[in-house]
A = this chain, B = another copy of it.
Amino acid sequence: MGETLGEVGEFGLIARITASLPSSDATLVGPGDDAAVVATPDGRVVATTDVLVEGRHFRLGWSTPYDVGRKAAAQNLADICAMGARPTALLVGLAAPASFLVADAERLAAGLADEASSVGAAVVGGDVVASDTLVLSVTALGSLDGRAPVLRSGARAGDVLVVAGTLGGAAAGLAALRAGRDDLDAVALHRVPRPPYDAGPALALLGATAMVDVSDGLTGDLGHVARASGVGFEIDVALLPADPSVAAAADALGVDPVEWLLGGGEDHALVATLPPGVASPYPVVGRAVAESGIRWLGATTVPPSYDHFG
């Protein structure tokens, strides 16, 4: 079965993991001290934290430890990008049973490090503790490189609404796994989302007035923007950029894909508002309006947004 965390201990595991972690230009002091030191060129740091719990946010029967690491990194890196920032560093807390395999912990760390490396960021610190439940907490740091942060509160009536990345794939993949159809392409997007990281800074440079990443479903996340900005939205459902795997999954499972597009979380597409007249390289799906609420043009049903305790 291989060595367990209980056998090698906290410090043994940390020594093995940190030995293989790639560094980055922004890493001034990496793992192994009381804290890390990361460069913040413009005198500000963007910071976000997310917690993933086995059995709720992932299942090791459905995803490999490597996939879980990549997914945990991706959802935090996407939050940094949704501010218009560039990710620079991750810190990782792992609470795991003593029976957890060292090899699986190393694969999980490799997934975190690989996803971070894909955007030029590095794992700079962490903590390992014993727990009956496997819990992964990730903190991401990022740099705005002199730009203003793009908040949820800046959308104005008349702005156009654009989506970078695709929608529905992660939800379709989860539905496929629940139906025992792990042969469907969407499953890969449930296991490892593919956020459009570069679109965050790009949309900030284009003058985005508000931005959010789709982590809990488009309905819920756009609702946050609408409330924070004091606007409403009109959205043409036919214009939403569905992942190519969604249609096939909908056919195979006999499901209306609109619920995945509007209610599915964990795709980490970036949704932003741009002033009218800005040429967008990302598809325009609707516009901000003065009246509150979200009107879905062409939708028959609107699923509720996701709540972790709901």
Digitize A6-32: 1 where CB-to-B-CB distance is under 8 Å, 0 elsewhere.
101111010000000000000011001
Query: Which residues on the B side are within 8 Å of A129 (C-beta)?
Result: 51-53, 56-57, 308
Q: How many residues of chain A are within 8 Å of chain B by beta carbon?
A: 74
Asked if A137 CB lies within 8 Å of chain B CBs, one says yes
Query: Which residues on the B side are within 8 Å of A29 (C-beta)?
Result: 83, 149, 151
CA–CA, A101 and B158, complex, Å = 43
- Number of chain copies forming the complex: 2
Asked if A85 CB lies within 8 Å of chain B CBs, one says yes
Asked if A39 CB lies within 8 Å of chain B CBs, one says yes
Chain B nearest CB, measured from A64 CB (Å): 21
Q: Contact: A141 with B47, CB < 8 Å?
A: yes
Asked if A183 CB lies within 8 Å of chain B CBs, one says no
Q: Contact: A309 with B98, CB < 8 Å?
A: yes
- Segment 25-69 of A: residues with Cβ below 8 Å from B: 28-29, 32-53, 56-57
Knowing A135-B51, A135-B135, A309-B130, say if A45 contacts B56 (CB, 8 Å).
no
Query: Which 8 A-B residue pairings sit nearest by Cβ, starting from the closest?
Result: A137-B137, A35-B48, A51-B93, A34-B82, A133-B133, A40-B40, A49-B91, A139-B139
